[in-house]
Structure 1
Amino acid sequence: MGGAVTMASGSLGGQGAAQAVPVARVRLQNIDALRGFVMVLMLLDHVRETWFVHYAITDPVDARTIMPAVFLARLIVSLCAPVFVALTGLGVFLYSSNHTKAETTEYLLKRGLLLMAIEVFYLSELYWGITQPTLWLQVIWCIGVCMIVLSVLMRLPRPVLIGLGLVLVCAHNLLDPIRLQAGDPFFPLWAMIHQRDTFALPFGLIVKTTYPVLPWIGVISLGFGIGPWFLSDVLPAERRRRLLLLGIGMLVAFFVLRGLNVYGDKPWFVVADSPLRTAMSFFALTKYPASLLFLLLTLGVGTLLLVAFDAIADSGLVRAISVFGGAPMFFYIFHLTVLRILYHSALAIWGPNYGTTFGVENYGWVVAWYVGLIVPLYIPTAWYSRLKRRRRDITWLKYF
């Protein structure tokens, strides 16, 4: 939820948010800054997928074969989805703190359905030029589903909601052995919930369930659950203390569980004569669906980054980064559209230079493109972010 947030005492429980009394209008710039930071990181991975698509990647975290630079970039970019989904839950709580349950439910349903429609009817089509018609149910679809589910779960008592979120995040890997096949009852549903897979639709369409939603429902629920820490009756120092303990706790849990190598993800392994690839194996984590260890590491780091941004909230760096976080949906759609236009323009002008695709010769050019695009993408995003703040009378702007 970009922009200023009207803070209110109380939560959504009890008689609802209608009784919450607004006490201050505060720009939670650290939240926008963290959201903006991960959006900028995400751009790197999308640039790679545009200009380096010819570099065959069977598994982007395969420690034995992947290029170390690509692995490192992928590891860093892994922060994006978990942080964004958790902040979505937090943003919903802040929205609910000065809106009724009915208003919050309406917002979640409309926003969720809109995101799902954008994924299916626009974002998927951006990639049809390089693959067969496929509906990619990716992160925007996933967030949309999670928002719709949260519209129901937010009515639970906060301890129950947090408990449910923890169960979904921590225990969903117990379901990994359940593998359905095409033709099995409920296969498409299970593919969307927990098993990343592909299934066919009429008219030659293919559905790819890139982001099975089950663990992400847990993440958005936990983001909603820590919402009261960000109300005005909690001092900033106390909020930072809680977040610091939470972030450190998640990272300690990650290193302990990963070291034991018994649960939470595929086992890591030693690569003979290669300490680097052994370390890569340790941090090679499953994103689809997001494993317990993947979420512990990324959310732990994200929580500590939130503390850091909170500590320097008045700095120029935070103000600049928060522009991206103030208009995240606009930036997401805009940068993917720009990348597709650039790619297809290059393909039309110079033709394919790697099989049927156009690309750059090494990963250094990917980084160069990434750095070069930040400012050109920043300018329209800043314009749109200012428009959202200035024209609060335009209702539809809050959905983007």
Structure 2
Amino acid sequence: MKRNNSIDVMRGLVMIIMALDHVRDLLHTTSLSQSPTDLTTTTPALFFTRWVTYLCAPTFVFLSGTSAFLSMNAKQDLVATRRFLLSRGIWLVGLEFSVVNFGMWFDPHFDVLILEVIATIGIGFLILSVLLKLPPRTIGLIGGLIVALHGLITLIPVPENLLLKVLRSLFSPMVFPYGTGKLLFVAYPPVPWLGIMLIGYGAGRFFESTEQSQRRIFLKTGLLSLGLFSLLRGMNLYGDPVNWSSQKNRLYSFLSFINVTKYPPSLQFCLLFLGIMFLILSLVQGINNRWTGIVRVYGKTPLFYFLVHWYLIHPLVFVMVFLQGFKSSDLVFGFNFGRPKTGSGIDLWAVYLIWLFIVLMMYPLCKWYGAYKERHKEQTWLRYL
């Protein structure tokens, strides 16, 4: 299957941005105690450092659906595509609860297991494999209905019943204790993210149009999405569980307006960030220069990048805390990432420097792995990484 340059550029861009959020999460002075989007305590710089990374997950999930469509259309083999989605889905869920979780926590006891974007994409692939017989437009419509209406489910109160909690965790974040002192945290409830994936699958046919048609379609779609977001957000009636409100000044009022809910991804969240994604896709159509070439290197190897970058960032946590005078007995794992309870961390400007360092470190690794995959297409296992 011929690669789509705009998809690779878009993926590469969000992979670069994603690393910023993970460096901030693991290393910033206030990341263990303060929400960067809490307008009562945040600063504009910290807010936007977090907010801009909201683009990553919906884009990655949407383009996973799009890539599934393009692969299906290229092969014209329903059985082979279904088999691949099933096996890749199981593989991604397994990766989440092993390689990804260890890279995130560095806790050999796995006291906290977290279901995030990789497992959610895996679950989405499993469900999409069942829906493949449906026309792409129908699959896209199902996805649109999920995105538009799943917020109604979260309005229903759930009594203390394990089965109902499990069902609710399909739609909203939930924590389940297991074993002795261990927790399973469903941070990315599968159903809302499935809706985004199905929309991406349904939109896959647009990526087979000419560059001029794609530019026009994505521009119109992006503007329409942002227009609907502005209308719903301004009305404060439906589409996000938290209304925006006037703040201490115009800047903070604007921050309130764009401060939408990611967990789970609300309708307004999806309209805003998928709208931004479509505008970027329209801008990068047909652009082939040095910078897009660099970004594509990351976009061609997104899962490899995702797995490896954790193992570059997390050791820096221990370098940081030991340089700051802490001892191994001070380390707290689980949600603390191995950092002491208080007193550790670096300033925001240093977070940006380390982020750039991580991105630069990943470039030759991704370039090497992308070239290796290109030279060894006969090795089918490479399709899973």
TM-score, length-scaled by structure 1: 0.88
Range 79-88 or range 235-244, more displaced: 235-244
5+ residue gaps, structure 1: 1-5, 7-25
Q: How far off its partner does 1:32 sit?
A: 0.4
Partner of 2:312: 338
What SS is found at the alignment partner of 1:226? helix
> SS of 1:136's equivalent?
strand
Partner residue, 2:331: none
Structure 1 position 241 matched with structure 2 position 220? no
Cα distance, 1:132 vs structure 2? 7.1
C-alpha distance in 1 between matches for 2:353 and 2:19 = 12
1:298 maps to amino acid: F
* Structure 2 unmatched ranges of 5 or more: 328-338
Alpha carbons of structure 1 residues 106 and 258: separation in structure 2 relative to 1, 3 Å: same
Residues 1:228 and 2:202 aligned together = no
Whether contact under 8 Å (1:343, 1:358) holds in the other structure is: no
- Of Structure 1 and Structure 2, the greater helix share is in 2
The separation in 1 between residues aligned to 2:30 and 2:235, in whole angstroms, is 37
Counterpart of 2:112 in structure 1 is: 134
Q: 1:358 to 1:368 in 2, by over 3 A?
A: farther
Q: Summarize deviations over 1:266-299 as a string: whole Å, max 9, x none.
A: 110111x322211111111100100000010100
| Between 290-299 and 350-359, the greater mean CA deviation after superposition | 350-359
Alpha-carbon separation, structure 1, partners of 2:230 and 2:31: 31
Matched, 1:374 2:349: no
CA distance in 1, matches of 2:358, 2:224: 36
Alignment of 1:56-75 (within 5 A): 56-75=32-51
Shift of residue 311, structure 1, vs aligned partner: 3.3
Aligned to 2:243, which of 235, 250, 267?
Answer: 267
Describe the SS at the equivalent of 2:91: helix
Residue 86 (str. 1) matches residue 62 (str. 2): yes
The 1:351–1:357 alpha-carbon spacing in structure 2 relative to 1, beyond 3 Å, is farther
Tell which deviates more after alignment, 65-74 or 250-259: 65-74
Q: What is aligned with 1:219?
A: 196
Following superposition of structure 1 onto structure 2, how do residues 275-354 of structure 1 map, counting pairs within 5 Å?
275-312=250-287, 314-348=288-322, 350-352=324-326
CA contact (8 A) 2:66 2:204 kept: yes
Confirm or deny: 8 A CA contact 1:119 1:138 kept in the other structure.
Answer: yes
8 Å CA contact 2:25–2:31 kept in 1: the answer is no
Question: Using a 3 Å threshold, how does the CA distance of structure 1 residues 352 and 179 change in structure 2: closer, same or farther?
Answer: farther
Please list the CA deviations of residues 249-272 of structure 1 after superposition, one character each: whole Å capped at 9, or x if unmatched: 10110111111111111110111x
CA change 1:357–1:263 in 2 (3 A) is same
CA deviation map 1:75-125 (0-9, x unaligned): 111000001111111100111112211111111111111111111122222
2:175 alignment counterpart: 198
Distance 1:152 1:341 in 2: 40
SS at match of 1:199: strand
Match in the other structure for 1:183: 161
CA distance in 2, matches of 1:386, 1:78: 30
Amino acid at match of 2:79: A
SS of residue matched to 1:198: strand
Given that 1:347 and 1:357 are in contact with CA atoms closer than 8 Å, whether structure 2 keeps it comes out as no
SS at match of 2:176: strand
Equivalent residue for 1:50?
A: 26
Q: Matched residues in 1 for 2:359 and 2:344: separation? A: 20
The letter of the residue matching 1:69 is A
1:365 paired with 2:350, answer yes
* 1:25-50 C-alpha deviation (Å, 9 max, x unpaired): x4311110100000000000001012
Q: How many angstroms does 1:347 deviate by?
A: 3.3
- 1:356 is displaced (CA, Å) by 3.7
SS of 1:186's partner is helix
Contact kept, 8 Å, 2:29 with 2:346, in 1: the verdict is no
Q: Is the 8 A contact 1:62 1:281 kept in 2?
A: no
- Contact 1:270–1:278 (8 Å) recurs in 2: yes
Q: Is the 8 A contact 2:24 2:31 kept in 1?
A: no
Distance 1:135 1:59 in 2: 21
Deviation at 1:197, TM superposition (A): 1.5
Matching of residue 117 in structure 1 with residue 91 in structure 2: no
Aligned-partner Cα distance in 2 for 1:197–1:126: 22
Preserved CA contact (<8 Å) 1:64 1:277: no
Q: CA deviation at 1:180?
A: 2.6
The match for 2:334 is none
Q: 1:200 to 1:355 in 2, by over 3 A?
A: closer
Between stretches 174-183 and 376-385, larger displacement belongs to 174-183
Aligned match of 1:35? 11
Task: Kindly provide the amino acid, as one letter, of the partner of residue 362 in structure 1.
Answer: D
Q: Which moved more, 1:376-385 or 1:273-282?
A: 273-282
User: Secondary structure at 2:48's aligned position in 1?
Assistant: helix
User: What is the total number of aligned residue pairs between the two structures?
Assistant: 371
What is residue 232 of structure 2 aligned with on the other side?
257
Give the aligned residue type for 2:120.
C
State whether residues 61 and 285 of structure 1, in contact with CA within 8 Å, keep that contact through their aligned partners in structure 2: no
Which residue in the other structure is 1:395 paired with?
380
Q: In structure 2, what is the equivalent of residue 172 of structure 1?
A: 150
Question: Residues 214 and 285 of structure 2 are in contact (CA less than 8 Å); yes or no, is this contact kept in structure 1?
Answer: no
1:73 to partner: Cα distance: 1.3
1:135 is paired with a residue of what secondary structure? strand
Alignment partner of 2:128 out of 150, 158, 167:
150
Q: Quote the offset at 1:377 in angstroms.
A: 1.3
The SS at the match of 1:142 is helix
